[in-house]
Amino acid sequence: MAKDTNCNCDCGKRIWIPNGSTSIIGIINNKDLCLSIFPPTGFAYVGYDKQNNLQLLKEGGTTVSCKCNNTSGACSPFIGHGPDGDAVGCAGDCTDCTMKQSFISAPNVEIITGGFINLAEKVSFVEIGQNLPSAFKAMFELPEVKTALKVFLDRVYGGLPIPVLIKGNNFITAPDGYSLAAVNICGRAVIVPVPSLSLKLSNAASSSATCSCTKGTCTLKDDTLFGYGAIWCEATDCTGTCTLKTGIFISNGGFDSVLESSNFVF
């Protein structure tokens, strides 16, 4: 990121925006700045609101606002740049700043967590060196996302048995004959176990997955989708950058990464 998004402004919250998005600065409540984000064609936004209801926006944009709760100081939205693409955060000299996101078409619905996904993009293995933001729970509730991933994994497995993953303290490892592969699903990276024979040398495949946070902790999550495993990170107590890493553990206790993917709250 080009700037620090923390600055006491709902620490750790960043909103990933796709390349090619357009943005418009506005004012709400006659004083607070907001930033409206319009993604390219094919992108949708899916997430949970304050009542934990799933919300889906297939057309239009979202609005990000930054409100300073102090009597002095200010905070405003900005766009920063990082290896996973552009992201929106809040910055300023305010010591108590609140960042909110809502749909332009439904300004009273506050989104608590979610993200933009590309429903037009085909499912594929991630190539080594390809940077994608991490997948997140809400997107897997959409039937079109689940169906696309199931069709892909059914083809990759070709009837081979589904492995039992080895789980430890903040790490997951694939058993012999299987690898943890990074899969591009709707422009997001999710880790799934696949038969090692199905992979090429150019694929971002590893034996283990783990999570790390630059300030605080983020949690490694796994879920069963159609019997297959899916792995990602959630920034539960992370006020810095939460990163999903795949690679191998080395003899000195370190971790040699093959792929790293940043987690975004939005």
The whole domain housing 50 covers 15-117
On whether residue 3 sits in a domain, the answer given is no
Using only C-alpha atoms, the chain has a radius of gyration, in whole angstroms, of: 19
Same domain, 137 and 49: no
* Cβ atoms 14, 81 nearer than 8 A: no
Q: Rounded distance, CA 218 to CA 159, Å?
A: 34
Angle (CA) 178 180 181, round 5°: 115
In the predicted structure, residue 7 carries a pLDDT above the cut 60: no
In this structure, the number of other CB atoms found within 10 A of the CB of residue 5 comes to 24
- Which pLDDT score is estimated for 3? 36
- Which pLDDT score is estimated for 252? 66
On whether residue 4 sits in a domain, the answer given is no
- Which pLDDT score is estimated for 84? 63
* Cβ atoms 252, 169 nearer than 8 A: no
pLDDT, one tens digit per residue, over 42-58 is: 999 999 999 999 999 98
On whether residue 93 sits in a domain, the answer given is yes
In the predicted structure, residue 110 carries a pLDDT above the cut 60: yes
Same domain, 100 and 147: no
Q: Quote the tokens at residue 72.
A: 């002095």
Same domain, 165 and 239: yes
The arithmetic mean of pLDDT across residues 110-132, rounded, is 90
Same domain, 36 and 128: no
Report residue 6's pLDDT band, with 50, 70 and 90 as the boundaries. very low
Long-range contacts from 180-183, C-beta under 8 angstroms, 24+ separation: 180/205, 180/206, 180/207, 180/208, 180/209, 180/231, 180/246, 181/125, 181/126, 181/205, 181/206, 182/125, 182/126, 182/132, 182/246, 182/259, 182/261, 183/123, 183/124, 183/125, 183/126, 183/149, 183/152
Same domain, 67 and 132: no
Instruction: Determine what percent of the chain is predicted with pLDDT higher than 70.
Output: 88
The arithmetic mean of pLDDT across residues 168-176, rounded, is 86
Report residue 210's pLDDT band, with 50, 70 and 90 as the boundaries. confident
Q: Choose one of 48, 82, 117: the last residue of a domain.
A: 117
DSSP letters, 200-251, are -TTB-EESEEEEEESSEEEEEEEEEETTEEEEEEEEEEESS-EEEEEEEE-T
The arithmetic mean of pLDDT across residues 198-215, rounded, is 85
Same domain, 254 and 197: yes
Same domain, 111 and 137: no
Mean pLDDT of the chain: 82
Same domain, 141 and 243: yes
On whether residue 5 sits in a domain, the answer given is no
Q: Quote the tokens at residue 30.
A: 């006659």
pTM of the model: 0.86
Instruction: Determine what percent of the chain is predicted with pLDDT higher than 90.
Output: 19
On whether residue 168 sits in a domain, the answer given is yes
- Ranked by mean pLDDT, which of 15-19, 27-31, 98-102, 152-156 comes out on top? 152-156
In the predicted structure, residue 27 carries a pLDDT above the cut 70: no
Q: Choose one of 67, 86, 117: the last residue of a domain.
A: 117
On whether residue 149 sits in a domain, the answer given is yes
Same domain, 111 and 214: no
On whether residue 157 sits in a domain, the answer given is yes
Report residue 167's pLDDT band, with 50, 70 and 90 as the boundaries. confident
Q: What is the DSSP letter of 199?
A: -
CA distances from 90 to 32, 45, 168 (A): 12, 20, 36
On whether residue 65 sits in a domain, the answer given is yes
Same domain, 126 and 112: no
Q: Choose one of 117, 132, 157: the last residue of a domain.
A: 117
Amino acid (1-letter code) at residue 102: S
Q: Into how many domains does the chain fold?
A: 2
- Which pLDDT score is estimated for 45? 94
Exposed e or buried b per residue across 184-200, where buried means at least 16 C-beta atoms within 10 angstroms of its C-beta: bbbbbbbbbbbbeebee
